[in-house]
Amino acid sequence: MYFNYTIDGKKLYTNKERGVTQLTNHFTKEEFDCKCGCGNGDIVISEKLVWELECVREAYKKPMRITSGIRCLAHNRKIGSRDTSSHVKGLAADIHCTDMWTRLELVRRLLRDGEFERIGINKQFIHVDVDYDKPRGIFVY
């Protein structure tokens, strides 16, 4: 497994055919970009977060769709999230997951192959983050 980037802009690998910036073998920068199209402002996605997700993805061997990564404050407020959200710091990602079988598989992998501080279970997604300023654990929405 190779990590093809540094968050500081060194050695960024751009996949020209797909028109995306490849962060790891399986994840692109665009998947973590703020959904409002703001370009993320000063927020960068956590290298640790992406790396842990890549470790999980390698073991999981199936697609993991990121439904939310970075959120600028305006977008975060618009969708009704708290200002303290780890998404605003670039430390969190939500993975699409709506059925119990997939939830079990994913949570098992996240615990076994990733080192996340928190996992949140939502009906539509699983939240993971590497926000050390918050209590560790598994929460429900």
Measured N-to-C along each axis, helices 100-113 and 47-60 cross at an angle, to the nearest 10 degrees, of 120
34-42, 88-96, 115-123, 132-140 -> range binding Zn ion (CB under 5 A): 34-42
Residue 12 or 36 with smaller CB distance to Zn ion: 36
- Residue 88 or 130: the one with the smaller Cβ distance to Zn ion is 88
Q: Which of 63, 95, 4 is nearest to 87 (CA)?
A: 95
Tell me which residue of 141, 101, 136, 134 sits closest to 116, measured CA to CA.
Answer: 136
Work out whether 44 is an interface residue with Zn ion (CB under 5 A): no
Phi, psi of 50 (to 5 degrees): -65, -40
Question: Minimum distance between the CB of residue 49 and Zn ion, rounded to whole angstroms?
Answer: 18
Radius of gyration of the chain (CA): 14
**Shortest spacing between CB 89 and Zn ion, in angstroms:** 14
Footprint of Zn ion on residues 70-109 (CB under 5 A)?
A: 72, 75
Provide the binding-site residues for Zn ion, judged by CB under 5 A: 34, 36, 38, 72, 75
